[in-house]
Structure 1
Amino acid sequence: MPGTSAASELVSGRELTAARVTEPRLREAYARCRRLHARHGRTYFLATRLLRPAQRPAIHALYGFARYVDDLVDDPEPGWTAADIAQRIDHIATALDEGLAAGSSDDPVLAAVVDTTVRFGVEAKLFGPFLHSMRMDLAVTGYASRTELDTYVHGSAEVIGLQVLPVLGTVCDRREAEPHAAALGAAFQLTNFLRDVAEDLHRGRVYLPADELAAYGVDTDLLRWCLRNGRAEPKVKAALADQVARTREVYRRARPGIAMLHPASRPCVATAFDLYSRILDRIEDRDHDVFAGRAVVSTPRRLALAGAAVARTALARAARTAGTARTANTARTARTARTALPRISR
């Protein structure tokens, strides 16, 4: 819808102005990343609206870049082979390294990523594992164990949590918060794996550890049977219930990190935490039958959760503003009183 697009561009422009991004080419790169984030990451994109406007472009840059590369793998250009995609990822890796070394880039997406990395001190070494995991998707179709899957998840999700941490800010040493940020990235990714079992099977991939499935008598052939028949077999339901329980444990490891964030960033992350974990609730509500339909949190529910967070954020900001004003008034009164006192000669 043209009106919606115009409104989105207006919001994007205000965010970039708040972030003091003024150069037209760079503003367009950030805007493009925002569009990528909005199109593919609806849950976290909604939560991002709870951040201060000056923070949002950096989050859009990092998530937009992740979606940009992921799209190359999952939705390649017609006729592209795995070798073509791998070559494109290698080109991106080289261009990113050159941009980070120079402090700027002419690439229409990487320009925003490099600028964000420089502005917020994001560790450049975090991009390598991400690109490695994207390459894994070109050849790996399954994971024999949790250890193997963890390697993929580290690059595809944990490093994203670590990348955004400097943008969100912390009230403690950043290193103390890093394990929780990484765990939250993993929790979101593992939730996606459970929600998208059927979709991933269509692409020929299974992101669930084979040995843990085997403990319930489940293998890829049985999962494909479920896909063909549009329903989960009882053994598959039991295996998925186990996977949900394991994923909830990752959320429990991540939760303490929310309190370590800068107060302005907590509503965003807490809302994303709530929205993603409710996807697990929906899976349980469906008796773990992820083949009968996609488990999602309804749009009204997502908006209600975000709206409540907006209200809490507004109240907290108002309270902080009022407190600052009272402190300033008290200080001015004290200065006035001191000025009015007669000087005592020594």
Structure 2
Amino acid sequence: MSRTMEGPNPMPAPVQAAYAYCEAVTGGQARNFAYGIRLLPAGKRQAMSALYAFSRRVDDIGDGTLAPETKHVRLEDTRALLDRIRKGDVEDDDTDPVAVALADAAQRYPLPLDGLDELIDGVLMDVRGASYETWDDLKVYCRCVAGAIGRLSLAVFGTQPGAPGAERAPEYADTLGLALQLTNILRDVAEDAAGGRVYLPADDLAKFGCTEGFGTGRPPAGSDFAGLVHYEVRRARALFTEGYRLLPMLDRRSGACVAAMAGIYRRLLDRIERDPWAVLRGRVSLPGHEKAYVAVRGLSGLDARVIGRQGHGGRP
């Protein structure tokens, strides 16, 4: 039975505090994610915050300044913690608030915790300095670090009873995660290059003459960098279109959450498409007021209806 803050099975104070910690982490660090989950009812918002806080921990290890060997140890330690959560070995009074919150969320929702193992595997690819020859190769990485989070989120949202095609909901959630991650990759081209990382597939770079020097964030003279960006934008839009098929399967507030997050990334994609060179000048982002506007549209159902038509082949 679900535990709540009130009622016959009240949520223990340490669990409430653990969720409050995770919500503070989410509100303070999630640039786009937080705008969507604000639209959820309290229980789902808490569970999503626990997922975010755990995922943030994994990402921070991968992005930190520790030596690769130390990162590997820290990530495997985090995997061991995940195993404890999976086995129900985390008590409410554990000193790790993220573990407490995620363990409680796993009791309340059918979370496929193996998805967080996939996230750790994806971050280990970063630690090893993996590169990707083809889009099929990059998809493996994107499924680990984003598609898996989409499937975990779906376990919190649930699908509406009797929703047509609901058996494909995990597939659509996974695909929407790929769309968000590819948008992230485009947005962060300069930042990643400064850190010695190139995520775009090598055969795409070669197709547009961008191979030499791309790791420095400076495409070679004569390359068609704008063509490369537009090519990847089209790929991301196709992924969004497929992933949007998830929306009609969700309840109103869960659909609003997904529509808000997708809407923010769609607008980022629009900006990148209009000015491909902007990604080399710095991180492309939306101002807070525009994110809030997208969230309001999501809650009102406006973006959900537009996205739903796109997901079925229509046009807004």
Q: TM-score scaled to structure 1, two decimals?
A: 0.78
User: How far apart are residue 154 of structure 1 and its match?
Assistant: 1.1
**Could you tell me which residue of structure 2 aligns to residue 318 of structure 1?**
none
| 8 Å Cα contact 2:119-2:148 kept in structure 1 | yes
Gaps of 5+ in 1: 1-15, 314-346
Q: Residue deviations 1:138-185, cap 9 Å, x none?
A: 112421111221111111000100001121110237532111111111
What amino acid sits opposite 2:21 in the alignment?
R
What amino acid sits opposite 1:101 in the alignment?
K
**Could you tell me which residue of structure 1 aligns to residue 36 of structure 2?**
47
User: How far apart are residue 310 of structure 1 and its match?
Assistant: 4.0
Gaps of 5+ in 2: 303-316
**Could you tell me which residue of structure 2 aligns to residue 191 of structure 1?**
183
The answer as to 2:246 corresponding to 1:254 is no
**Could you tell me which residue of structure 1 aligns to residue 306 of structure 2?**
none
| 8 Å Cα contact 1:36-1:68 kept in structure 2 | no
**CA spacing shift, 1:50–1:257, aligned 2, 3 Å:** same
User: How far apart are residue 94 of structure 1 and its match?
Assistant: 1.0
Q: 2 CA distance for matches of 1:284 and 1:225?
A: 18
Equivalent residues in 2 for 1:6-17 (5 A)?
A: 17=5
Aligned-pair Cα RMSD in Å = 2.4
User: How far apart are residue 312 of structure 1 and its match?
Assistant: 5.3
2:143 to 154, 161, 164: 154
What amino acid sits opposite 1:95 in the alignment?
L
Q: 2 CA distance for matches of 1:39 and 1:148?
A: 33
SS at match of 1:207: coil
What amino acid sits opposite 2:75 in the alignment?
I
Equivalent residues in 2 for 1:194-209 (5 A)?
A: 194-209=186-201
Count the aligned residue pairs: 292
**Could you tell me which residue of structure 2 aligns to residue 69 of structure 1?**
58
| 8 Å Cα contact 2:257-2:299 kept in structure 1 | no
Equivalent residues in 2 for 1:1-346 (5 A)?
A: 17=5, 22-76=11-65, 80-102=66-88, 104-105=90-91, 106=94, 107-171=96-160, 172=163, 175-219=167-211, 221-224=213-216, 226=218, 235-311=224-300
Q: 2 CA distance for matches of 1:92 and 1:235?
A: 42
Q: 1 CA distance for matches of 2:74 and 2:253?
A: 38
**Could you tell me which residue of structure 2 aligns to residue 8 of structure 1?**
none
SS at match of 1:68: helix
**CA spacing shift, 1:303–1:166, aligned 2, 3 Å:** same
What amino acid sits opposite 1:211 in the alignment?
D
| 8 Å Cα contact 2:229-2:276 kept in structure 1 | no
User: How far apart are residue 290 of structure 1 and its match?
Assistant: 1.0
User: How far apart are residue 233 of structure 1 and its match?
Assistant: 7.0
Q: Residue deviations 1:15-57, cap 9 Å, x none?
A: x737977222222322222222223322120111111122100
SS at match of 1:265: helix
Q: 2 CA distance for matches of 1:239 and 1:84?
A: 36
What amino acid sits opposite 1:189 in the alignment?
Q
SS at match of 2:42: coil
| 8 Å Cα contact 1:21-1:27 kept in structure 2 | no
**CA spacing shift, 1:29–1:282, aligned 2, 3 Å:** same
Q: 1 CA distance for matches of 2:231 and 2:224?
A: 11
User: How far apart are residue 307 of structure 1 and its match?
Assistant: 2.8
Q: 1 CA distance for matches of 2:213 and 2:84?
A: 45
| Higher CA-based Rg | 1
| 8 Å Cα contact 1:241-1:288 kept in structure 2 | no
Q: 2 CA distance for matches of 1:111 and 1:257?
A: 30
Q: Residue deviations 1:191-242, cap 9 Å, x none?
A: 1100000011111111111111111111151452528x9xx97511211111
**CA spacing shift, 1:134–1:299, aligned 2, 3 Å:** same
**CA spacing shift, 1:289–1:264, aligned 2, 3 Å:** closer
Runs of 4+ residues deviating >6 angstroms: 18-21
Q: 1 CA distance for matches of 2:10 and 2:227?
A: 51
